[in-house]
Amino acid sequence: MIHIILVLYTLFLSTLFFYAIHSYLLLFFYYRYGEKRLQPVRKTLEHTPDVTIQLPIYNEKYVIHRLIKSVVSMDYPREHLEIQVLDDSDDETSAIIAKLVEEYRQRGHDIKHVQRASRMDFKAGALEYGLERARGEFVAIFDADFVPPAHFLQDLLPEFDTPLIGGVQARWGHLNHDHSVLTRSQAIGLDNHFVMEQGLRSKLDFFINFNGTCGLWRRSAIHDAGGWSGETLAEDLDLSYRVQLKGWTIRYRGDIVVNGELPDRAYSYRIQQNRWAKGTIQVARKLLPKVFSSSLRLIQKYEAFVHLTCHVNFLAMLGLALFALPVAYFKVQGFVSSAYYIGISFFTIGAFGYPFLYYLSQKESYRDYRRRVPFILGVIAYSMGLSLSNTVAIIEGWFNRKHIFTRTPKSGGKQRSYRHEIRSLIPYIEILFGLYLCVTIVYVAVNLQLILVPFLLLYCYGFLSMGLSSVKEDLLPLRPQEIICSKRNS
């Protein structure tokens, strides 16, 4: 049994180290190219093509007015702009949309309320349904929780200066990053993705992904790649890779920021992260064979593999948490040679790569970056806390081809007493994991294995925070209107 545990523990450490190498590769490229050469060159719009803006909506009563108001305020000629509100809602959101659409139509905007007979293929199905009816040569997409700036189209359309530019992705900003430790931590994680990962991948001609919102597509590129597909929960990532495998290029504009609302509850955050984990591994299963058999350079294939399989890290983190106590016990009791522990200490090198990338993303983005840096610990802790539920998500994504899209609840920037019903044991198991790791902390501290304490504290905070917050939110009272909505959706 001891040997089995040690083999598994080493395997989990090796997995994390493999992906940590990627962080050092990004650091190498960052310092090689430097800040100035990563900055995009601003261009001017030479002609005015027809553009369709698509707004995929599902039960977004709190934020729909904010979204539509920002879109109709776009600095773009009305005669060349079409707005599609792709409404799959089954609550009062549809009535709100109908009223807003009629109001703005009377003001001279070409805005349409598009509804389907069913939610088949979820967001991908809605986008494809709208695309078949769109008149624009280019298509911009915004999710309900974002507020695009007026200059968005004027800034991104000039990027289509060659025929093979298939799409352009803008950077996400954050409307409510200072709401809590959770939102501050999320903001840092997303900043790293956009500032460091997307920016460097785009510069180095690696595959990047459309992030589902705040991007602009050439319509012909979508058609050439086969259109939107509902085969995965990451329809944006799926299309991005299919487009690039067809020879199109997706560009990234990190200087164009579209602010969005971060999930402010543990439940909302869990839903979002589980969907991303499941969807990404589904795309890996679907498209990695095509990536490997393509004519891409070896380093491009490596980058694509890391990109599409990175959520395996959560399984490895869960394994380390599970075996932390027995591995510490083996060392204290002398059951395992000290040479083993000296050997695995090498893997700790990998623990510093991504935190340093997070630091650089803050330094690149904000003048007050120093006050944001402490929340890097939150990024790590919440990642650890999500390791159980995301492990379940990637297993489901790999083995189960059926999936259901679950929307991320949004509050519209106000305190909402929305509530969810826990239909899983995962939050309670997370609490048990947190308590188990508290016991582990006491054990290693008493036995002076103090090097493990910082990591275990982060694990403990992550599990207990996710678990206890989810259970607490489940106990919140529902307001009368929310009770009606809950019954309607059940």
**Catalytic (active-site) positions:** 88, 236
Could you say which DSSP state residue 454 is in?
Answer: H
Residue tagged 């009563």 (tokens): 61
Give the other-Cβ count within 10 Å of 431's Cβ: 17
**Could you give the CA distance from residue 227 to residue 221 in angstroms, rounded to a whole number?**
9
CA–CA dist 334, 321 (Å, integer): 21
Residue 25 parent element (H or E): helix 2-38
The contacts of residue 97 (CB under 8 Å, 6+ apart) are 57, 64, 68, 85, 87, 89, 113
Distance of CA 333 to CAs 97, 328, 449, 473, 479, Å?
66, 9, 12, 42, 55
Short-list 410, 426, 438, CA closest to 474:
426
Helices 298-309, 235-245: axis angle to 10 degrees equals 170
Tokens of residue 110, six digits:
């070409």
55 in Cβ contact with 68 (< 8 Å): yes
Q: How far apart are CA 201 and CA 208, in angstroms?
A: 6
SS3 state of residue 347: helix
H-type helices in 335-479, by residue range?
Answer: 338-344, 353-365, 369-372, 376-385, 387-399, 426-446, 453-474
Beta-carbon-side half-sphere exposure of residue 108 (alpha carbons within 13 Å):
5
> For residue 353, how far is the Cα from the chain centroid?
20
Closest to 201 measured CA to CA, from 303, 354, 302, 283:
303
- Per DSSP, the residues of 76-111 read S-GGGEEEEEEE---STHHHHHHHHHHHHHHTT--E
The CA-atom distances, in angstroms, between 363 and each of 20, 192, 220, 373, 473 are 21, 11, 38, 9, 34
How many other CB atoms are found less than 10 A from the CB of residue 169?
29
DSSP category for residue 142: -
